[in-house]
Copies of this chain bind each other. A is one copy, B any other.
Amino acid sequence: MMNATASALRQCSIAATLSLIGEKWTILILRDVFHGVTRFDDFLRRLECSPAVLSARLKTLTEAGLLRKVGYREPGERERFEYRPTRAAVELLPVLIGLMQWGDSHMTSCGEGPVQIRSQASGKLVRAALVDEDGELVSPRDMQIVPVGPRRTEGEP
């Protein structure tokens, strides 16, 4: 939408998604949203970016359906706004967690990061992985890429 070429966007959902969340501050906003941050001023203090950039990114994320801006008013106060993650944002969590864990493993000296992800229900550690239709783990070395394209019958050219 903002940077990647039309050709790349047309052909590649990876590029399309990255053109949305790959900008410098966008991913950090999402991270903070999942940490429970909801208000403009709190983002501003935590991220230490310019208000113009923050405003622009929040707008992009909202328009893309990743955040929802809701107004609320506590009794006796004036209206405030919250930015809350949508279902689409939650569905990005495997990607965000995968990015975090890859960086922890490959880009830090100690091989671990400052936070862990756990299941609320069970308390067990959680990681991003590949699974098949039955929920069974699959090794990343065991992948094949299959074009689906315009449907064809079985024995095509």
Contact = CB atoms under 8 A, between A and B. Distances in A.
Interface of A: 3-5, 7-8, 11-20, 22-24, 27-28, 31, 34-35, 48, 65, 88, 90-108, 112-122, 124-138, 140-149
Contacts of A141: 90
Copies of this chain, complex-wide, total: 2
Contacts of A48: 7
A11 B103 CA distance: 11
Chain A binding surface SS class: mixed
Nearest to A47: B8
Given A3-B24, A126-B130, A126-B132, A138 B116 contact: no
A141 to B, nearest CB: 6
A107 B20 contact: yes
Contacts of A17: 99-100, 102-103, 106-107
Contacts of A120: 142-144
B94 A119 contact: no
Given A114-B149, A145-B34, A148-B116, A129 B126 contact: no
User: What are the 4 A-B residue pairs with the smallest beta carbon separation, nearest first?
Assistant: A13-B103, A17-B103, A124-B132, A93-B140
B147 A115 contact: yes
Nearest to A9: B107
